[in-house]
Amino acid sequence: MGKAYVVGVGMHPFGRFLDKSIKQLTRHAVWEAIHDAGIDPKRVEIAYFSNSFAGALSGQHSVRGQIYLRDAGFSEIPIINVENACASGATAFQHACLAVSSGQVDVALAVGVEKMFVGDTAKTISALGSAGDVETTKGQGLQFTALYALKALDYMEKYGATPYHFAKVAEKNSENAVLNPYAQFRKKLSVEDVLNSRMIADPLTLYMCSPIADGSAAVIVASEKIANQLGKAQVHLKGSVLKSGQLYDPNNKQPSVITKASNELFEKIGIGHSDINMLEVHDAATSIEFEHVEDLGLVPRGTAFEEVVSGTFHISGKLPMNMSGGLTSKGHPVGASGVAQIVEITKQLRGEAKERQVYTNEKLPLTGLCLNTGGRVEDDRAAYAITILAR
Amino acid sequence: MDNMLELNVWTRDNEGRPSLIGSKCVECDHLSFPAKEVCPYCMTNGRSEEILIGRIGKVVSATTCYTAPKGIQAPYTLGLIEIESGVQVLAQISGNAIKKGDKVELVIYSSVSAETAEETIGWKYQIVEGGNQ
């Protein structure tokens, strides 16, 4: 297997863009990535198009990638439509890398787009609910915020965390988003702001939850040969893993999918937990950052809520997490989120993150991890994607 | 059934009480909801039998939601229910002061959409009388 390099990244800012169509959002991110790579777009040989809800929200249920990418100039090349709920973006990126590393193509595009502001919040929440088994959740009022609330309650009971700790994560992520021109909310929130915002699903308040968003992100992946030609051979895929949810274990004995998958991945690519300099995780609610970083084995079980208070996960901390602002402050346009994580880690590794730049022992970081999760099947999430990029 | 593509996930037992339809693998005894032909634990095909489960359950955790998808009135409670046979389901729960350990029973409800006047028949759990812990 050859190496797959990230040679170009692009995004449309996340937020509420009532005047922007899905085509416009797609074109913006794709062409920003093309310009960033400095590549002739005719050299893109395959595209993976990540989107979850254009079917439910706009009626474009089928061939979305072919429709939206045609507007960005693409025809004839194979286009694969990727749908794995909130993990669609990472799934698309991992497969673009596979197309390159396997030698199938020299240049691949992964793009994630979502338009969630459609003038009817209940419709959008209902669409999100379809990321579960609709046969068993019909009429139950399934919403992902509630699932995160249940996990938050469990974490509080097990380890003694309180809503204050979830608010500390929101405070941190909002500070990071202030520094990110692509973020939806660029306003610093205090712990009080977060705790006093309205309750969404007990114990999660509004500012602890990721918002509905419009937005897009695109990444161009290339072989070593092309990356060198472009002078863009800085960041490459170190390793990745994609998993589906596991069966419910009434005795709660088996490790989580994240723990099993990350251990498998670390061993396969021969790196240790301490080699991870920074990470972007799937904070659909701020409370889940604790479970994610603990499941990944990067801090001991039951300690993450104290670590956020001591500053470990801040940009200047020992293990910066969600430097982009995370889903909660950067925004969560579902199909774009996983690709946007790759964009952030790439910028950090290149040293292009400006005021958000992470330094590891006063040097640019060498390795970053992305955790992107999506959907629900029975008692677990539907999809998990862990992606590690390195210089 | 209002949609031919959907399988029913609940029925009524001999005494007319609502129950969920699950399955039990004859090979490994694994219980599953919703019912499946293939056991997801041992992957034996065609050796699962349909069983009625979840008439009664226990609240594992519950949260009150203050925003709602279409057709649901906020606030409402969503929670995980451990159904008597050791399977967990996510469901809407009705009742007062719902908390962990409360005893709940399956109920069938009907709601009519204010917009479309379409009737939805659904299932949810309800705290049984004296079931609060």
A332 catalytically annotated: yes
Q: Do B122 and A379 touch (CB under 8 A)?
A: no
- pLDDT score of B2: 46
A103-137 burial code (b ≥16 CB/10 A, e <16): eebbbbbbbbbbbbbbeeeebbbbbbbbbbbeebb
What pLDDT does B12 receive?
93
Contact call for A136 and B89, based on CB within 8 A: yes
Write down the catalytic residue from A12, A86, A236, A370.
Answer: A86
Beta carbons of B69 and A248 less than 8 Å apart: no
Per the annotation, the verdict on A370 as an active-site residue is no
Residues of B in contact with A287 (CB under 8 A): none
Closest chain A residue to the Cα of B108, Cα to Cα: A139
CB contact under 8 A, B33 and A199: no
pLDDT exceeds 80 at position B1: no
The answer for B 38-67 residues in CB contact with A (under 8 A) is: 40-41, 61-67
Size of interface A-B (CB pairs under 8 A): 102
Return the pLDDT at A303: 98
Judged against a pLDDT cut of 90, whether residue B78 lies above it is answered with: yes
> Which segments in chain A show pLDDT lower than 50?
none
Is pLDDT above 70 for B26? Answer: yes
pTM of the predicted protein model: 0.96
* Closest Cβ opposite residue B120 in set A139, A199, A379: A139
Chain B hits for A153, CB-CB cut-off 8 Å, are 61, 63
Is B113 within 8 Å of chain A by CB? no
CB contact under 8 A, A139 and B70: no
Helices A288-295 and A163-178: crossing angle in degrees, nearest 10, is 90
